[in-house]
Structures are given as C-alpha cells and as structure tokens.
Amino acid sequence: QKEVEQNSGPLSVPEGAIASLNCTYSDRGSQSFFWYRQYSGKSPELIMFIYSNGDKEDGRFTAQLNKASQYVSLLIRDSQPSDSATYLCAVRVDSWGKLQFGAGTQVVVTP
C-alpha cells in the first residue's frame, strides 16, 4: 500500500507569518505531487503541483520537493485568515493518473 503522510494539525499560524506544511510518501518511484486546499464543507481545489526537485513558487505559495528524502512541502507566506483550511497532499501513483491522498493538515490563521 503506497502511503502519503501528513501531520493532521491543527497548525496555528499568526496572520502575516509563514505556514509550513510537510508531506512524506512511501513510493520512491512517484514523479508528480500536488497540493489541494479544502475549505470546510467544500471540495478540494488544486493550488500547486510540482514534478521536479527544488522549489516552485506561485504567488504566496511555494512547493518544495525532495525526491531523495521522499518529502514534499508547502509554504504559505504572509498567511491570511482566508488561508484557514485543510491542505491535502497528493501523489500520483500509477500511469493512469491515480492519486494517493494524505489525510490533510488543518491550518488556522489567527488575526
């Protein structure tokens, strides 16, 4: 069973600070990694994807991938109350595009 692990949280972050979320995965052959944001009662929204080692930045979000250590992380800079949500890490596990999801990390941004 290919696994994706995340800390469940909640991760409490002061407004304006950096939120750091981590995700580890078990399948060393995985090549594609995704971060989804899910507000309470809503469906997941894709916010970042990364395929190569290193950093990828998009606005206030930075995804970091280290395949050797089998972890992927998400940084949220200048955190806002609207960033309060559950963040799901997902890893592509086969050639058909199937994703394995972590259980999610709840982020709470406090004013």
Partner 1 sequence: SQTIHQWPATLVQPVGSPLSLECTVEGTSNPNLYWYRQAAGRGLQLLFYSVGIGQISSEVPQNLSASRPQDRQFILSSKKLLLSDSGFYLCAWSGQGANEQYFGPGTRLTVT
End-to-end CA gap in the chain: 40
Give the nearer residue to partner 1 in terms of CB position, either 15 or 52.
52
**Of 43 and 82, which CB lies nearer to partner 1 in the complex structure?**
43
Q: Which residues bind partner 1 (CB under 8 A)?
A: 32, 34, 36, 42-46, 49, 51, 88, 90, 92, 96-99, 101-104
62 close to 50: Cβ distance less than 8 angstroms: no
8 Å CB contact between 92 and 9: no
Minimum Å distance from CB 29 to partner 1? Answer: 14
